[in-house]
Amino acid sequence: MSNVRVFGLYKQLLELAEAQLNALHEERFDDALVYLEKRQRIIDEIHKFDATGKNDHELKDISHKIIINIEKIISVDTENQDILKAILNSISHRLEAVKKAKTFCSDNTYHQAGNTLNISA
């Protein structure tokens, strides 16, 4: 695999990370998972290349560009992670509110007299 190919893989990885971020911003979670799977396939291909041994001389010329892409990927992934944490936190708060409402409703008795609803605790 040539150094151009390796650089191309890292570039694809960055593009997929950015697409995944956009999908999360737009709450397209199924698409975000598809991007994650595609990213994993590229990572596996990079690992295969590493396992077969790389020509350090070839990669030396583009190693700086690869490092820049890796740093961008990490930055985008950090943003992806922050979005997912916010979503999970929001879901957790909503579940807690539902639990409190359920507890409130089960602890109260309802009596209807005429056209009004009386709640006694």
Location of structure tokens 């509110």: 97
The domain ranges of the chain are 3-110
Encoded tokens for 63: 């190693």
Helix (H, G, I), strand (E, B) or coil at 108: coil
Query: Is the CATH number 3.40.50 carried by domain 3-110?
Result: no
- Ordered per-residue pLDDT tens for the chain, 121 residues: 567 788 899 999 999 999 999 999 999 999 999 999 999 999 988 887 765 555 556 556 667 778 888 899 999 999 999 999 999 999 999 999 888 888 877 766 555 555 555 555 4
Helices vs strands, H then E, count in the chain? 4, 2
H-helix or E-strand containing 34?
helix 29-52
Stated as kind and residue range, the H or E segment containing 118 is strand 116-120
